[in-house]
């Protein structure tokens, strides 16, 4: 891209591509992080997360600490057969992601917000 207004980038040609990361929850809660080891958990390496709870029960997906995520936009796709509770790092509810749905989550540095829609 090319430099745009302060704090932005303009894509002159082509399309914006997000990296896809697959997370298998293995029938357990998963804590995610942007800073390796802080907190301990799964390092997020893409903006599109394909998440499978891998069980017959609802599992919790904890997003990284808000202070590390100012401006972060995540697209979370439930690829499994169970509901996933998407939560902030303090286990507060962000969205409930049912089977075959997609969540769109954004952080402003202090709060995670999200919405759910079908793909």
Q: What angle do CA 46, 51, 53 make, to 5 degrees?
A: 150
- Looking at residue 56, what is its pLDDT? 80
Residues in a beta bridge with 85: 60, 96
pTM: 0.89
CB atoms within 10 A of CB 74: 24
Q: Extract the residue ranges of the chain whose pLDDT is less than 70.
A: 1-7, 118-119
Its sign, for the CA torsion 47, 52, 53, 54, is negative
d(CA 115, CA 97): 9
Give per-residue pLDDT as tens, 10-22.
Answer: 777 888 889 999 9
């Amino acid at each position: 891209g090319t430099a745009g207004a302060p704090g932005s980038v303009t894509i002159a040609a082509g399309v914006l591509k997000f990296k896809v990361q697959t997370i298998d929850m293995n029938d357990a809660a998963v804590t995610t992080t942007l800073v390796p080891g802080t907190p301990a958990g799964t390092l997020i390496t893409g903006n599109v997360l394909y998440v499978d709870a891998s069980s017959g029960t609802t599992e919790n997906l904890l997003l990284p600490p808000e202070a590390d995520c100012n401006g972060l936009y995540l697209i979370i796709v439930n690829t499994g057969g169970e509901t996933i509770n998407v939560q902030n790092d303090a286990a507060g509810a962000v969205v409930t992601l049912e089977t075959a749905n997609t969540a769109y989550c954004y952080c402003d540095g202090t709060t995670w917000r999200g919405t759910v829609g079908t793909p």
